[in-house]
Amino acid sequence: GIELRLFFDAGASVYDQCWWGCTKWFVDAYRAQGIEFDRILGWEAASVNHTQFWASVPKDLKPKYGYFNVPVSGDPNSGDHLWHHVRSLAQEEDYVVVKLDIDNNPLETLLVRQLLADPELVNLV
């Protein structure tokens, strides 16, 4: 069975500042299907006011939400590499959701190619 439900949000923006596609939209859409994330990790390259950001995150999500106000990396040797985090936290039995919308087509393409070239990683996602 499913052990953990993990959401990796590359291009997280601010939690609730959108009408679709932001972290809140995904949390609400999955909750409507009976899926509650155990862990949420988000990356955003644009500078964000952290006081305002965390004020927008609901109390029940704060203990399981990690937010990196840095660009996600395509370099496998970087601590900000998206797939490094997936590999470090996910197991094959977990339910893993990855949103990749960083408005950087070359980097998005690189990350997708890295995913597709790695059968072990594909089994985690």
For residue 6, CA distances in Å to 26, 40, 46, 73, 77 come to 12, 6, 23, 19, 22
Dihedral sign for Cα 109, 18, 26, 16, please: positive
User: What pTM does this model have?
Assistant: 0.94
**pLDDT bracket for residue 1 (50, 70, 90):** confident
Inter-residue contact 94 to 2 (CB < 8 Å): yes
pLDDT of residue 18: 76
Q: Tens digit of pLDDT for each residue in 22-57?
A: 899 999 999 999 999 999 999 999 999 999 999 999
Q: pLDDT at residue 122 above 90?
A: yes
pLDDT of residue 95: 96
Q: To which H or E segment does residue 54 belong?
A: helix 50-56
Inter-residue contact 98 to 10 (CB < 8 Å): yes
Q: Tens digit of pLDDT for each residue in 65-85?
A: 999 999 999 999 999 999 999
